[in-house]
Structure 1
């Protein structure tokens, strides 16, 4: 099989779909790997490393898409890439279909075969999404800390506090992988942390692992109560294949103190705050009703080396099956079967069927 790795062109996206180590394994297995020139540069991976692993370096995305049976990416195809995708071509990447209906309809028209990282499921876990969620949770708190600084319009407080001065307070909406790691990071620096969640099982797991973290049922009343005191609120809700529910209305922001920070990790699926809109690493924040909003969809992209390595290792076993078996892999690998969202114009994911049919 010919496997292509284009350079990511989403704004400030520095990750790459494959690392040289995985390329070497694919080449030894008899596959051909095409890597676009400087595709790995943002993650500190040089063209020479890919060549040493056995990849062929090509100059343009047209070559990657034009010659590859399977294209391995990080983020959803951008408009210029959609034009290059061929019928029957397999794409393995994050798609976040629910937040981009235009892209989804274009892929349906193209009759591509789309396998979404975020939909690959093993038992009750999302093994490819998980490491990115861990990183995003940690970074959400780091960014929240940063934008609390007065320079950015924040309150001008330190989450950890100091002797004689109260600690900062963090509310986390959602107790999944992102929420857990956000809570863990915030607690580790000494902040007061509350996680709002609807699953009793998740709340017990958080309390057992993080004894200093408070858990509350995620009701509108409890959310509004937390808004009154929180310095940083992290949106960490995921409903795979569906738009994230809005948990905080625009008028609810009036409950918050001016200079508080909202970090919407869920923005790539629509966002949990009614006032959220996608931002970029170059212009990551805006202020609305006195509240700092940080809504960068590709949050792990700011630590591209760590996140590229984690993503490549997590996707590796699924990629090897796709390369070895082609579309037969969907019958042999349950995780890939769950990740198969679109095939030749047919919508296979139940949640997407509700949205687009």
Structure 2
């Protein structure tokens, strides 16, 4: 069984491609079957030249309105479509796709596991991760942290927000919460400028550059709580799940892809939302978190450190169920079932 996906250690698709390729290679070979990364809202294969006799697509999307235009045709073209969340699967089924299922991304327990906080021991450190864009909700983080940091002099914001795609960065201009205007500047400089322009004291910010995934555990364990008020997620959010596997609690939205992992036992879930139609380079209905609720939960976390430790322990147990090996086994089982049935030659 072949795997046609990007490879790398600094972005989500590359990490998924690395793990799935490695784990699938350990399973019995299946001739004529390829697992593809599906790119774009038109649900096309990442590498069309790798089209095989049997083709399984793996997709994550957030712009469900744009995807619906292509869903039915994709269902006819692909032998099976696997989504990264039950929310994505539901959107495809609305669009008429029946040959679809869900497999969540994994977490490597050898890479991400609990540990003691070594740095910033006297401060309360809030971690925020994911590429800086409107969908990921870092504007909500900035708006909430502006108030929270003004109240608590020991509060620090630790950010892993690097974004190499200008078209994605530009979406933050739609924010109702922060002042942002994209212009050509190295991303780290642009992020620092944005934080300063929105009254976040830079001397109390740790702004991480792009880092190899293997280095992120040390970032995670040196923080007290994670903040993920994402407006929409097509998957279970790899960064958030790795963070939780390190025994750290998150304040997080519990809709779309997050709904597959966030519970009241392993997190402090956000519960107040307003649906909003976003139109940028594509279209989707996303969910606006309530900044006031984010601040309330930050205050709760600040006052209840023991509760954070208990939820963090539950998070470790829950994230242990997210296995790249199990994901590979499930993809392999789908490929084995598809190749064993009478099947015409697939064409794009």
The bucket for the TM-score relative to the shorter chain is 0.3 to 0.5
- Give TM-score scaled by structure 1 length: 0.35
- Give TM-score scaled by structure 2 length: 0.36
